Amino acid sequence: LFRSRVAPWQYAATSQLNTSEYQGSDRFGSALVASETGQFMYAGAPGNQTGRVASFVKQSNGDWLENAFLASDHSSTLNYGNALALSPLSLVVAADKSNNSTGQLFVYRERQTTVSQVIAGPEAASRFGAAMCTSKNGQWLYVSATGINRVFAYTWESKVARAQQALAGSPR
C-alpha cells in the first residue's frame, strides 16, 4: 500500500497486505475500494469459485488486519467481487458473470456483513456490474452493463437503491 507524502502525487510504500488464504487464481485485489478516512479497505477476489471480498481495517500502528470476508451464498453467483463501490452509506459488490452473464449487485448497508439488497441485471448477457462508482456523498450509484453498452444510475430511497435512468452509448 502506498501513502501520499509531502508533495501531491508522490507516494511511498508503507505496508503490504499479506494473506495466505488467497492463491493466484483467486485474483485477489482485482477490485479495491477504501473509505474516505483510509481506515477501511475492501479487496475483491472474483476467481475464488464464486468469488469473495476481504474486508480490512487499519490498526493504530499502521498495519492492516483482515477482519471479515463477504461471499455470496448462491451457487449461481460467478465473479463476485469483480467490481466494488463504497460510499458512507453502503458497500456494493458486483458479480457481473452471474446468471449467464446477466450480472448482479449485492448491497451491504453501513458496514454490515449481511446483504440488504440484491439488484439483478436488466437483461441476459448484459454483464451488469462490470464497473461501478458512487457519488462522493453516496446518494448515487452508477453501474455499467458493458454487454449492452449502458450505464445505469441509481439513487437511495428509504435505504434501497432505485433505478433512475439508463444512459446508452452511441457509436461514432
Task: Tell me the average pLDDT across 129-152.
Answer: 92
Backbone angles phi, psi at 136, to 5 degrees: -60, -40
Distance CA 3, CA 26 (A): 26
pTM of the full structure: 0.85
> Is 89 exposed, middle or buried (CB count within 10 Å of its CB: 0-12, 13-18, 19+)?
middle
Q: How many residues does the chain have?
A: 172
Task: Tell me the average pLDDT across 101-116.
Answer: 89
Q: How far is CA 11 from the centre of its chain?
A: 24
Task: Tell me the average pLDDT across 39-57.
Answer: 89
The grid coordinates of residue 111 equal 458496514
Helix (H) or strand (E) holding 34: strand 32-34
pLDDT band for position 170 (cuts 50, 70, 90): low
Task: Tell me the average pLDDT across 29-45.
Answer: 92
The grid coordinates of residue 116 equal 440488504
- Model confidence at 88: pLDDT above 70: yes
